[in-house]
Structure formats: structure tokens, C-alpha cells
Amino acid sequence: MTAPSTNDLTSRLHGLWLPLITPFRDGELDEASLRRLVRHYSAGPIDGFILAATSGEGMSLRAGELERLVTLTHSELSASRRHLPILLGLSGASTAKMLDALDETATWPIDGYLIASPYYIRPSQRGLVQHFTALANHASWPIVLYNIPYRTGVSLTNETLLQLALHPNIVGMKDCGADRAQSIDFLARRPSGFRVLTGEDAEYHDALADGADGAILLSAHLETETFASLRTLLAQGDRDGARACWKELSRLARLLFAEPSPAPAKYCLARNGLIDSAEVRLPMVEISAELAALLDEEVEQRRPQLLRQA
């Protein structure tokens, strides 16, 4: 497979991307449910897939499972004749091991990587620049930065992001910085063509209103069309309509993060028959009975919309 240019990915790095959950059954990758998910979402208003990142429980996947996940997703997309781009989530605390991971995945049928900052070590900003520069110099595919300090323990500052954004093989960022002022400042100063997608489901409306190019939303596993329509309303200048749309969605987004993600989303997907099991891998656990009851109520209220999307 011929590696795409960074311009190819940049031109497609916008809109609504889905950080696809990874279905499990009896401790194994549930391939039938995975195929069903890809067919279902590729038929809707999704602009790209993220595989094996936070929502996909990527750190729990074995090497063989990771490759199988990518292969099956690509196969289903090819069969559907809708060639949506795929980003592969990679995370690690060692630059050397991450370089090895880039080598191991260089020939996989993907379009780029979503790479988080090194976790636990909490390197300096100078160390982060050198880490991501080494990866970008080495990678066969373009890189999208993943700034999520509440998981990694370190935040990419705007000065660091602006420096990295000049690298020709770093094309965008998933913004989970949880600091709206920082996000607005970066959006105003970013280089032309550098894409920013919010990864904060609760900030979806505000991030788009502030100028983000799109979003990577776990919540879009449900009410996919409604999440996509909010962006359309804002693009059309209908701010009142967008706010009303967000009011309809915001409770669902909150409930899906009321306990560690992606367990709540998996519960809903299993309940709706899109996956065969809500199983997660330890140390993740399935949701509490209390949250299940709240989600049952929410899903029942939304059943007409959900059935239209199924």
C-alpha cells in the first residue's frame, strides 16, 4: 500500500470522527460484532475512524489483536466502498519503543496515527518536542497529536504545539486539554492547514463554535446523525438551532462518561444489538446497576431516533 501524502489526510481531517470501541466476547476480540459496527457506522455521517485509542481500549490489546482490528476494519470499509480514513491510536512512555511500534505498523492499511504524550514520565516541553519530532521523522504515516493531560500527566503547551505543527508529518491535534482559553488561543495562532478536532464530548458545541475543524466523539456511537447535524447547523450559521441540538445531546454525553469509558457506551451498544456483549477488559469493569438504569431510561426516550439509525 502506498503511503498517502500528509495533504491527503489533512484534507480529510475534519467533521465527525468515531473513536471506535473494540468489542470483546469471552475474553477475545469479537470479530462479528466489529464487522457489524464498521458496516453500520460507515453507512452514516462519519468522516473517519480512530482505532485502538482510549475508547477502543487500545492498551489492553495484544499485538496480534491490534493488527486484526485494523485488518478487519479496512476489509469492511473496502467492501462497503466507502473508503473512510483510519487513524491508529498508539501510546507509550518510551520513545525507542514507540519507534519500534511505528516500524511494526508501517505496512498496515491505515492513513495515520493518533499519538498521545508519553504517560507517567511527565517530560519537559523540550523533551516532548524531541519525542514527537523523532516519531514524526520516522513514521511512514502522518501523525495527529493527542493532548490529554488528565490521562498522561503532562500537557502540550501552545508554544510546544506551534513548534510541532510546523513539522510536515504532523498534521493535526485531538484536543482534550480541558482548557478552553488555551484551545481558543491555539486556534487563533495555528499554522494554516493544521487541523484541530476536539476530543471532549462535553465541549463539542463550544469547540465547534470556537473554530475547531471537527470532533472525535465516543458519544457519537449513539445519536450519530444528531451529532453530525449540530456541526451542519453551526456551519450554516444557525446558532440557535445548534444550541437546541446540543441541549438534546448533552445529557447523553454526560451519562456516557458517568463511569469509566467506554463501559457505558458498550452497555448501550449491546442493549441496542450492535455488539453481542458489553464486555470490557480489566482493570475496566462493566457499569453499575444504577448507571444501567439511567441509561435504560435515556435509551428508551431516544428509541425512535436510535431505531432510525440502526
Q: What is the pLDDT of residue 82?
A: 85
Does the pLDDT value for residue 104 go beyond 60?
A: yes
- What is the DSSP secondary-structure string of 154-215? ----HHHHHHHTTSTTEEEEEE----HHHHHHHHHHSPTT-EEEE--GGGHHHHHHHT--EE
Residues 198, 144: Cα–Cα separation, whole Å: 12
Three-state DSSP class for 144? Answer: strand
Q: What is the pLDDT of residue 308?
A: 47
Does the pLDDT value for residue 3 go beyond 50?
A: no
Cis link prior to 23 (omega < 30° from 0)? no
Residues present in the chain in total: 310
Unique residue bearing C-alpha cell 505543527: 165
Unique residue bearing C-alpha cell 444528531: 226
Residue 146 annotated to the active site = yes
Cβ contacts of residue 306 below 8 Å, gap of 6+?
222, 223, 272, 299
Q: What is the pLDDT of residue 5?
A: 53
Q: What is the pLDDT of residue 246?
A: 96
Three-state DSSP class for 141? Answer: coil
Q: What is the pLDDT of residue 305?
A: 54
Q: What is the pLDDT of residue 302?
A: 73
Does the pLDDT value for residue 4 go beyond 50?
A: no
Give the residue numbers of the binding site.
Answer: 55, 216
Does the pLDDT value for residue 303 go beyond 70?
A: no
145: amino acid identity, one letter: L
CA 219 and chain centroid, separation? 10
Domains, in order of start, for the chain: 6-238 (3.20.20.70)
CB 173 within 8 A of CB 146: yes
Residue 120 annotated to the active site = no
Give the residue numbers of the binding site for pyruvate.
Answer: 55, 216
Does the pLDDT value for residue 76 go beyond 50?
A: yes
Share of the chain above pLDDT 90, in %: 91
Does the pLDDT value for residue 307 go beyond 50?
A: no
Residues 117, 90: Cα–Cα separation, whole Å: 10
Residue 47 grid coordinates: 468522516
Does the pLDDT value for residue 64 go beyond 60?
A: yes
Question: Across all residues in the chain, what is the average pLDDT?
Answer: 94
pLDDT tens per residue across span 247-291 = 999 999 999 999 999 999 999 999 999 999 999 999 999 999 999
Per-residue 3-state assignment (H helix, E strand, C coil) for 56-105: CCHHHCCHHHHHHHHHHHHHHHHHHCCCCCEEEEECCCCHHHHHHHHHHC
Give the residue from 206, 185, 212, 197 showing the smallest Cα distance to 253. Answer: 206
Question: What does R_g of the chain's alpha carbons equal in angstroms?
Answer: 18
Q: Count Cα neighbours of 113 within 13 Å in the Cβ-side half-sphere.
A: 29
Catalytic residue among 41, 97, 150, 174: 174
Give the residue from 60, 21, 95 showing the smallest Cα distance to 261. Answer: 21
Catalytic residue among 97, 119, 120, 146: 146
Cis link prior to 262 (omega < 30° from 0)? yes
Q: What is the pLDDT of residue 304?
A: 55
Does the pLDDT value for residue 310 go beyond 80?
A: no
Residues 238, 271: Cα–Cα separation, whole Å: 34
Q: What is the pLDDT of residue 2?
A: 38
pLDDT tens per residue across span 203-251 = 999 999 999 999 999 999 999 999 999 999 999 999 999 999 999 999 9
